[in-house]
Amino acid sequence: MLSAVQVPSARHLLRTSILSCALASGAFAPKVRGQPVANTVDATEVRKQYLADLDRLTSKFVALANAFPADKFVWRPTPQVRSVGAVFMHVATEYYLFSPLAFGAQASPVVKMNPEDLNRFEANPTKEAVLRHLRDGAVYAKGAIEAVDAKDIGPINWFGHETTIAESSTRMTADLHEHLGQLITYARMNGITPPWSK
C-alpha cells in the first residue's frame, strides 16, 4: 500500500518563501558597527546615487512648480494640510537642511531648524519664492554633499539613532518622493497634468 504524500499548505509555502528570501538577502546577517560601506569606492558610489536621485527629484519639483498657476499656490485640499506652495517650500527646507544632514554634511543657514522658523519659511509662499528656493536649496544640498571627504563618510546620528549613510540617504529621498506624489495628487485635483506625463 502506498503511503500518502503530504502536500504542504499554502501558509507553509508562503512562510518558507519569506524565510528563504530573508536569508538570501542577508536580513539576518550580523551588522558591523562603524562600517556603513565597505570602502571609499562604495562610499562615493552611495553619494553618486544619492545625488543622482536628488537631481531627478529636483527636475520634477521645478517642472511641477512651473506647471501650477501662481494663484493655485494657496490651494489646499482641506484646511488641515499644507497648501501647494507650503509643500513646495517644505521640500526646499529638506534641501537646505535634511538632505545634507542625511549625508553628514552641514545644513544651510538659510532656514533654522526650529518649528517657528520652519513654519515661517513655509507660510504663504509665492510661486517666485518657491522656484527660487527649490533651485537654491538643491544647489546648496549638492555642493554640501559633494564637499564631504569620502574618507570621512561614516555612521551619523539620524534623529537620535546611529545609522549608515546608505540608510539615511535612502530614507531622505524616500521622503522627498512621498512629497512629489503628494504634489502630483494636488496637481491632478486641479486639472494639471505633470509635464513629464504629457
pLDDT per residue as tens digits for the range 98-121: 999 999 899 999 999 889 999 999
> How many domains are there within the chain?
1
Residue 189 lies in a domain: yes
Distance CA 80, CA 175 (A): 20
Across 7-11, 85-89, 177-181, least confident range: 7-11
CA 139 to chain centre: 16
pLDDT bin (cut points 50, 70, 90) of residue 40 is low
* Residue 11, helix vs strand vs coil: helix
Residue 18 lies in a domain: no
Residue 31 lies in a domain: no
Contact 86, 122 (CB under 8 A): yes
pLDDT of 36 higher than 60: no
Instruction: Please tell me the pTM assigned to this model.
Output: 0.78
For residue 186, give its domain range. 36-197
CATH number at residue 58: 1.20.120.450
